Structure 1
Amino acid sequence: MELFSNLPEPPGVVVYSYSDTGTSIISLEGMNKGEAEDYLKIIKSAGFTTNSYETEDDTGFYYGASLDDNIMINFSWFSDGTAVLSHFDTSEMDYTIE
């Protein structure tokens, strides 16, 4: 969880995780909607509000935002109790755009 900008560990059970330079993704199970909404409040209070996008329907909700020009987070929660949290820090990534 260290690559998630010091956010606390989310509720639920981690069933998959991936980490590479500047990128971290975890999939969770067993998270109810109230827990997901509370965690979303934590994400927003940590400063992830720039260029934000949020949507919700009967299958769940999605939130994506930036902390600054380099650090972004995406959080998706689904009505079956699964969730995906991803964090990207482009300042740590080694890539070239041509």
Structure 2
Amino acid sequence: MKYRVIKCVIVAVLAFSACNDQTTKPSRLLTNGDPDRGKTALTNYGCVACHTIPGVRGSNSLTAPPLIGISQRSYLAGMLENTPDNLRSWIQHPR
């Protein structure tokens, strides 16, 4: 169950970071994600308490970095190559 939650959050982050009219369809195909479920997961798991997340109501905190454009970043947290495995690891064990 924990793996499923982490997977949903990762898919949501990747899907939302690239969402606009021109990228929504390719992002959905790439991640097999559902933006509506992603919004719910990001809220339910408390991501919005610390991060600003585009398209997610109530996510305007400055405690942690904004998740805007995370799919275009070369590195996560300035030190990990931006790969799905590293993103999953970072969500599970942030440093």
TM-score by length of 1: 0.30
Between structures 1 and 2, the one with greater strand share:
1
Between structures 1 and 2, the one with greater helix share:
2
Is the radius of gyration larger for structure 1 or structure 2?
A: 1
